[in-house]
Structure 1
Amino acid sequence: MTRELQIIRYGLLIIPAILSVYVYDYPDYGLFTFYFLLQLLLATAGSRLPRSWPVLAAILELLYSAWMCREYGLMMIFPAISALLCYSRLLPGSMSILLAGLHLGALNVAFSGSALQERIYMNLTFLLAAGLNELLWRTGRGREDTLFLYDELRKKHFELDEARNRLLQFASQVENAAQAEERVRISRQLHDDIGHRLIRVKMMVEAAIHTLPVSPEAGLDMMGQIRDQLAASMDNMRTALRQVNYAPQLEGAYALDRLLEETGRDTGIETSYQVEGYAYPLYPSIQVVLYKNAREALTNALRHGKATSVWISVNYSEREVIMEVGNNGLLPEDDQLRRLQTGGGMGLKGMSERTSLVGGTLEMRAAAPFTVVTKLPVYRQGDFK
């Protein structure tokens, strides 16, 4: 029982007892005071007894209140209503209705010798008080339910905030893993491409040293080839350095249209970008995976497929985002296709690992035009409720 309800309960006991002293002419006010203090003691002890004793105290209080009404008049109906407040909170439901019926019956027995108007007034007062008590109880339950829902919403808010922090941390881990993979790829490129070119240039220089004295024309031709090899190596070195030094922030860094624009500007091939559906914001981890997969697919299209046209299509749906990267290059041979479907090289393996890391799938369409399809699940704000 709440503090406010206890104040009402004791007010229904004390105030009518004081007023009845001035309204009624009792033969023995000391005895009345004793009975009233006994009723007050019964009401007070009922809320402090252990286990099932409060229910027994409430039943005794309702019977005692009916007896007080018989002995000291109609003003004692208010202490009876105080007892109603008590047992309706201790035993909500059908048991409370049963006790209220028992209480009303006891009050009618107590007022059996009174005038009809008093009995009608007593019954109407008790029934009205019972109805108001029920409304008060439901209002209290509604307030408790509201507070409970508020606590649940606050708890869900904290959980959502924690999930957001974990997701941002996960996105940072994905980005770091992708950067580490990119460093490995660039180092392999430097070793395999530029390193081999430099070894070849060294051998051509040694051959030119021996050829120039004997055949100047052949020696000059070899020097021209050496110059071309060095120029190509320098271009590759600049490209690798741009990739190493390129460290933009996440916002706008993984834009697919910008990737296509840079690819078309650097290589001169035809590019196309298409978006289907409503392009809603994606989580950083999804942006990173789409960007890395698109860049790897474009690199493979240029290096292995000798493509002259590439395109990217992104489809936004309610539960997933699908990116297709296609090209008009050469299709892989049967053995190459089997190798790609069973795991592929380091690039395709990295694409597959990145995609599965965020719960997505990676597919390849071998029929012309060759297309790499990345499907990633997306989580909107309502999914965390």
Structure 2
Amino acid sequence: MKFKRTDLSRLYHAALQHFLKEGPGASIAPAHELGRQAIALGLETLDLARMHEVALVSLVLPGYSSSTSDGLMGRAGLFFAEAITPLEETHRGAREANIQLNHMVQTLSLRTQELAATVEELRQEVEQRRAMEESLRISQQTSSDLLKKSRELQEELRQLSRQLLTAQEEERKKISRELHDVIAQTLTGINVRLAALKTDSTVSNKTLQGKISSTQELVEKSVDIVHRFARELRPSVLDDLGLIPALQSFMTSYMQDTGIRVSLQAFAGIEQADGAIRTVLYRIAQEALTNVARHAQASQADLSIQNPHGGISMKITDNGCGFTVKGKSSAKKNNRLGLLGMRERVEMIGGTFCVESAPGKGTTILVELSSEATAPNPSQ
């Protein structure tokens, strides 16, 4: 079988690979033998140089850093120098070929460095692209969370609006019913009695006094009802005397009407708080105790107003049946403004509102205002 140039190229590739792999201890003799075989095939130094370049590109470039490639290039140069020794002995152009080979080796080294730099640039670009993709993903998630939160707030606002309208309508119905069923009938009775007194000239003085007294009782009853309406709409004692007397007055009527015992503890400095704050605390206490009477099946409730760290903390607890707290929107729709309405009142003055309850464990409502929230407003 005739030895061909392709066979020599394959042998050269394998011999150079073995020489580079074995390191400084490898024998250089195979390179010399390859040079002799090149002569037998009639090859020139440039032919062997091209063969060396092909082998070098496939063996040195892949997977090596520029510093490692430089070391391998040097050892490959020794191998090639030995391989062309037989050619140098037989061909006059060996020196020129060696110069050209050195130039090719240098060019190959530059190309290797340029390739390494290009690979590094590509790696950095890939990392930047990954960072941008991650940033975009986080931005999309944040936008999605904000949109979800916005929808939840819109739903809470719609629910609160419905509750406000329902509460207003219920209060109007109550006042209308009381006016029609009680005050109107009472006034009608007064009118009838006055008309009877006007036409009855034969009535005795004693009988007249009795009828006048009963008519006065009807007038007093009507006045009491009107006063009760006024207290429920806006207790005058809250403006005239302060929060603590207003709460005591409300709790006295509350205990008489419901039979539920209520205790009150409050620091005197609460009366120095802003009027809007005292109004909110009164309304929260009023609504919370009303809910206790309607739903808690409790026998005892406790209300305390403290002054932690210069702020204000109001706690209302009961020993009732409790309920499962499901979040901000857990207010019962038929509880006037419900829990959501109380929360809105508190947050309107810069405070925090918390409900703790569980079936069979009673309920605690906590309102907290920081010292910053209770500080006087210079603009007022």
* TM-score, normalisation: structure 1: 0.43
* TM-score, normalisation: structure 2: 0.43
